[in-house]
Amino acid sequence: MHPIKTAVEKECPDTVSCADILALSAQISSILADGPNWKVPLGRRDGLTANQSLANTALPAPFHSLDILKSKFKDQGLDTTDLVALS
């Protein structure tokens, strides 16, 4: 587990997700760089359970080619713009 996640889990067990930490980090980094500020909605909004078998088949691997990445994103209803934004 990442040191930041470990520290947060110690203070707030089972409360803050890794996605929350990343979203807050992006917001704070932008503010510190004199960039825009925005309200960060926290908490999981994608579901309450994880599906390891689906993640193992649906998520692209870091070594996949661009064609495979585009295909995997298309399978999820996403396009090349989504691929670039999420990468």
The two tokens of residue 22 are 């990343």
Q: Please report, in range form, the residues annotated as the binding site.
A: 60
Q: Please report, in range form, the residues annotated as the binding site for substrate.
A: 60
Give the total residue count for the chain: 87
Distances (CA, A) of 78 to 7, 44, 86: 34, 20, 10
